[in-house]
A and B are shown apart, each in its own frame.
Chain A
């Protein structure tokens, strides 16, 4: 008779396992392990809010203390998903309020959250501690006020890049005088001015406050006063840095910063005047993270700042840094792990080219620990990609956005196939890849074959035919999320590789050549996928061959969703399918 591990012992072992991937593996071993695991899981992650019902999640994980949910597809960040598509947090909050009253942490990304929802959270979870909303919308500052006033043990309140109906800065005054538990506060996405005295008092009575991100409405004077009261901060997002330059203002600011001896992360810096940058010099040697994406400052000033940041691990900056500035980064910031370079002129016909492929090559050569890249530039070369792959085989995330669609290697006029082949082959640990520029089907053959660990792949304006999609879906062993826009295919490849879609979280295709007939057929063939056709301007009649604007396919055990707006077609909504004229392969 086989010896069974007593569940008490298993429970104890599991208390050391935090990773959900590991816990998922544990739960597949046998029924008793499944049971023990589910009863002990505290942090629950749901990557697609429509993949499973809230009730099922609450039922399975009775010990849940932390819930993370993601709603809209990633391309919603770039306005590719019409408003009203879905991703509502309410059903989840309702369910958790009823079944998981001990919930302490909620993290939502790309979801629609209403004030009612926020009020429900405040009212239902007595020990609520953490609320992080990333790229969410649908609520106003009233909802925030409800959280602030009711959650006595609130530690974290972060609104990251949300779209909030801003009814004024009063919400801040709703934190009761007795609230002293705050560890992190981020209101950088709000527009209205908060009363600086309210903020000063809140900061003064929060000895555990480590992270504070102000909104642009907070002035330099306000910042100085806050820093004086919170010298223990490790993360700071400044307010607006543009003010009339007075010598006393500069000295005060400089002194305030020099007292913040634990500062590791700096962001904000909206409208920063270059003359104020030296006030930051005292904190530079300790900085590990610097977000300059809103700082439109020229290269010489940027270099003066960055050459003092020898411990920097994460740098987000505008392309105003130029190749020369990146060369300086390569020589001063030897600890760099993550680099993001954003376009300062997002117009397609921008005339200035501040950064070229050379900038990224410098950093790849000089920064041995570089593992994550997001780089926008106008054009690129195969040679540069090959060099980057050779120098940095440890890359985990490589996102290159060549802004000019279909831009070939500008030196040889060839597609960028060879370059991306080098990346796929050389960077064996690559998890995330975004490709751009002129690419033929061949490039995708290489990616399908070699990018074994890539989980997320983004493609725009590429490929010649269905072969491209076929290569990806029949290769890419670890593929979980695929998002494609403006590529000239896909019925055949889609239908051929339907089974692959069940092994992935989701597939997004917009402005491609996917026909309505293929969507219907796929829906019928694959009952465990939700196939959503998203057409803001559908034709009056829908012949099988008519192309759809967007298609979003995801695996689910929740069945078809009931909250689709008018412009989303699913098989469930329109059962009068009839016989498809497309051959079933």
Chain B
């Protein structure tokens, strides 16, 4: 093969894409790839996917038309501190009350809407614009149009 005579500096074994190859072991290991695939904290980015700013801006906050056969809306649900999330079909609920009831049952603890406090797990959501919001302020239908995912915060420690 044309390559075998030249530099032996190339290891022929394939390397796990998340680790630096041996020749770079002295490289500062805090340089991680910008998309650790297991992290639930991926926020809306300005540089991926690669679309121009004007298009990206025009899509933010836009209410996209619901498809005719939209009978389900699955969103990811994370409990703060728990890396593995769940998925929930919001169309299965009639409103905020039944959502909270179901979540409380799923996580085996009381979950409420509203402001964070010392005692309770509080439900928040990420909207179309990438902002994290308190659940319950807007009508349920509007909520379904804008919700991206859910996060349950832990009781605050002072």
Contact = CB atoms under 8 A, between A and B. Distances in A.
B28 A547 contact: yes
Contact of B42 (A349, A354, A461): A349
Nearest to A539: B28
A135 B7 CA distance: 42
Interface stretch (A36-44, A140-148, A338-346, A499-507): A338-346
B27 A515 contact: yes
A464 B50 contact: no
A215 B31 CA distance: 43
A200 B20 CA distance: 62
Contact of A344 (B16, B19, B59): B59
A354 B34 CA distance: 26
A433 to B, nearest CB: 14
Which size bracket describes the interface of B in this complex?
Answer: 35 or more
B94 interface: no
Contact of A78 (B11, B50, B59, B76): B50
Interface in A274-294: 293-294
B142 interface: no
B51 interface: yes
A112 to B, nearest CB: 16
A511 interface: yes
Contacts of A77: 50, 52-53
Nearest to A299: B67
A486 B35 contact: yes
A561 B53 CA distance: 28
A79 B49 contact: no
Contacts of B58: 270, 294
B47 to A, nearest CB: 5
Contacts of A347: 44, 130, 148
A242 to B, nearest CB: 11
Contacts of B130: 347
B86 interface: no
Nearest to B52: A77
Nearest to B22: A465
Interface in B1-21: 6-7, 9-12, 14-21
A546 B17 CA distance: 19
A414 interface: no
A346 B23 contact: no
A444 to B, nearest CB: 12
B74 interface: yes
Interface in A328-362: 342-352, 354
Interface stretch (A382-390, A424-432, A487-495): A487-495
Given A297-B65, A298-B67, A492-B7, A348 B45 contact: yes
Interface string B62-95: 1011011000011110000000000000000000
Q: Is the interface of B mostly helix, strand, loop or mixed?
A: loop
Contact of A492 (B10, B14, B27, B65): B10
A349 B44 CA distance: 9
Interface in A42-90: 77-80
Contacts of B55: 293-294, 342
A463 interface: yes
Given A161-B54, A347-B148, A486 B33 contact: yes
A351 B52 contact: no
A296 B64 contact: yes
A463 B17 contact: yes
Nearest to B76: A349
A585 B7 contact: yes
Contacts of A486: 33-35
A513 interface: yes
A496 interface: yes
A401 interface: yes
A206 interface: no
A80 B47 contact: yes
A346 B45 CA distance: 9
B54 to A, nearest CB: 6
Interface string A246-281: 000000000000000000000000100000000000
A351 B24 contact: no
Contact of B10 (A80, A351, A401, A467): A467
Contacts of B48: 78, 348, 403, 405, 460
B65 A465 contact: no
B7 A465 contact: no
Contact of B33 (A354, A470, A488, A491): A488
B46 interface: yes
Given A78-B47, A351-B75, A486-B34, A464 B62 contact: no
Interface of B: 6-7, 9-12, 14-21, 23-24, 26-28, 31, 33-35, 37, 42, 44-56, 58-59, 62, 64-65, 67-68, 73-76, 130, 148-149
Given A352-B67, A466-B10, 20 more contacts: A78-B48, A79-B46, A79-B47, A163-B53, A320-B65, A342-B51, A343-B51, A347-B130, A349-B148, A406-B37, A464-B17, A467-B12, A470-B10, A486-B33, A488-B17, A489-B21, A496-B6, A545-B27, A545-B28, A546-B27
13 contacts: A79-B53, A80-B47, A348-B42, A403-B49, A405-B37, A406-B17, A461-B33, A463-B17, A465-B14, A489-B24, A492-B7, A545-B28, A546-B28
